[in-house]
Structure 1
């Protein structure tokens, strides 16, 4: 049973950080490519989890958000999103945000149930961006959202979270950093938002989520 005194497991909400370069690129896309097309478009952002304590959790979109093959900045994790760009302010205001949110959340849930999220954990990092660009007045309106799954009340939190320096020695933390960096290099990415981790007094090992069954099988590490 979980400790009734422990807080519920919650997700820290992202704050949107839309760079001026993003709006410039959206303007160009609207004029030269999208025109009156309101079909959803794939876009990409990124976030960084190394900011100082107390700063908001930011999900950044810049000019490269429309290039799905663009590289992610060093030590940042990619996040895949969907852009819904409307042609009128009225369409922006009356868009069914609840429906858009439910559709995106269902995509995450289906990725979890099918196992696709184990193969590609970036499917867990989804966001929505609803926009209207008034190109005559250069006014931009947007609504940003990151769907999060709500866990049932019956799921207990066995123990509260602790920081690494409360659980690992300085030597183990250094070994974890090296193992993580090696895994990122092997996968050809700048950062991995989700990974497996186990350790004992002498070793620290990390691996990808899709190796969960083999990684922990027959191990006595923690």
Structure 2
């Protein structure tokens, strides 16, 4: 997201791309899958990863894949958000190099767009965080090649910032921060997830409420005056680097 105010280059909303972090356990599991299950099958496979919003400022936004990436029902680590993707594992280095990456990217982006238009992304916001992984595993030499991509939709025009981002402790009182933490944790517990990357929030001086995206209409129905909301993740921790976007 955009950072400091005053810089003309930061007057518009900006997004940080994911940086891939493939654990050694992922490659070990891919090797086992290739030998015992996939063999010569190059059909796309569903995999999953996760990301965390609590890294120190300046570090890339890492999307991690580990040994559990091939188990779609595997639990996501605490305070981490899941991301689903598609694995294209080729049988030869030539096929890896010749793969039509642009076509794969367009297909994935279209899937995201369709989930937005159909409303499916409101029910399951994980659909907004897709990624692609093209791989070739040379099992004789133990050389692994990969191409990682996280597609994003291109808006026809950039989005201007009405106000710049500020630290949460600059906007909320200590009581409001505690109320937000409690409401967020309760929502995660109710949904049975370790973290929610997208959610709604409304507040006043006395209360802070959060809800799921799919409840947008009901959540703001009684609010006829100024509505404040955020659809991006707020890191809930004891640190002071929390960001709030109006």
Report the CA distance between 1:160 and its aligned residue. Answer: 2.5
| Other structure's SS at 1:72 match | coil
Report the CA distance between 1:56 and its aligned residue. Answer: 1.3
Residues 1:198 and 2:186 aligned together: no
Match of 1:48 in 2: 52
Alpha-carbon distance between aligned partners in 2 of 1:100 and 1:8, rounded to the nearest angstrom: 29
Deviations 1:93-151 (A, max 9, x none): 11111110110011000000000000000000100000000000000000001001111
| Other structure's SS at 2:166 match | coil
Superposed CA RMSD in Å reads 1.5
Normalization by structure 2: what TM-score?
0.86
Report the CA distance between 1:15 and its aligned residue. Answer: 0.8
- Aligned match for 1:86, one of 87, 90, 100: 90
Residues 1:22 and 2:30 aligned together: no
Deviations 1:138-173 (A, max 9, x none): 000000010011112165443332231221112111
Alpha-carbon distance between aligned partners in 2 of 1:165 and 1:55, rounded to the nearest angstrom: 22
Normalization by structure 1: what TM-score?
0.95
Alpha-carbon distance between aligned partners in 2 of 1:193 and 1:24, rounded to the nearest angstrom: 29
- Aligned match for 1:216, one of 215, 220, 223: 220
| Other structure's SS at 2:15 match | coil
Structure 1 unaligned blocks of 5 or more: none
Residues 1:113 and 2:117 aligned together: yes
Moved over 2 A (4+): 5-8, 154-163
| Other structure's SS at 2:33 match | helix
Structure 2 unaligned blocks of 5 or more: 1-7, 229-246
| Other structure's SS at 1:118 match | helix
**What is the count of residue pairs matched by the alignment?**
219
Report the CA distance between 1:19 and its aligned residue. Answer: 0.4
Match of 2:61 in 1: 57
2:26/2:66 contact within 8 Å kept = yes
Residues 1:172 and 2:176 aligned together: yes
